Amino acid sequence: MPKSAVVDASVLVSAFLFPASVPGRVVQSARQGKFVLHLSPLLLDETRYALLSTRLREIYGYADAAVLAWCMELAEIGRLFAGPLPEIGLVCRDPMTTTSSRPLSPLALKLSSPATKICWR
């Protein structure tokens, strides 16, 4: 069974802005089939919303069309989970203060195989 990963929106935003960065290499590895990148529509919406913000577009100077195309590509290279996600209540946003047995993502809970959760600060 291939390795699995669940990333948060900050990883995807950083990968778009800085393709040579660690988050960019994570997405590139998924594109190359080194692991399965699990995504949800909510995660893609959050990523798209962040990248289409006026602030980021003014700072980095990219076109809306580039964001939309990139998000469509993510949906193609990743495994899109469209089912309902469980309510998990409040979860600490700092991955350094959580235990490895405590899931950080409702999507990670829904996967049938263990997944690595990748956060980026």
Q: Is residue 55 within a helix (H) or strand (E), and if so which, with residue range?
A: helix 54-60
Residue 2 has pLDDT above 80, yes or no: no
Q: In whole angstroms, what is the distance from residue 93 CA to residue 85 CA? A: 18
pLDDT digits (tens, 9 = 90+) for 65-120: 999 999 999 999 998 887 776 665 555 555 554 444 444 455 554 555 454 444 44
What tokens does 44 get?
A: 């893609």
Output the CA angle 14-61-29, nearest 5 degrees. Answer: 30
Q: What CATH number has the domain spanning 4-118?
A: 3.40.50
Residue type (1 letter), 41: P
Question: H/E element holding 113?
Answer: none
- For the chain, the structural domain boundaries read 4-118
Render pLDDT for 24-78 as a digit per residue (tens, 0 to 9).
999 999 999 999 998 989 899 999 999 999 999 999 999 999 999 999 999 999 9
The reported pTM is 0.72
pLDDT at 21: 96
Residue 71 to residue 43: CA distance in whole angstroms: 10
CA–CA gap between residue 9 and residue 44 (Å, rounded) = 8
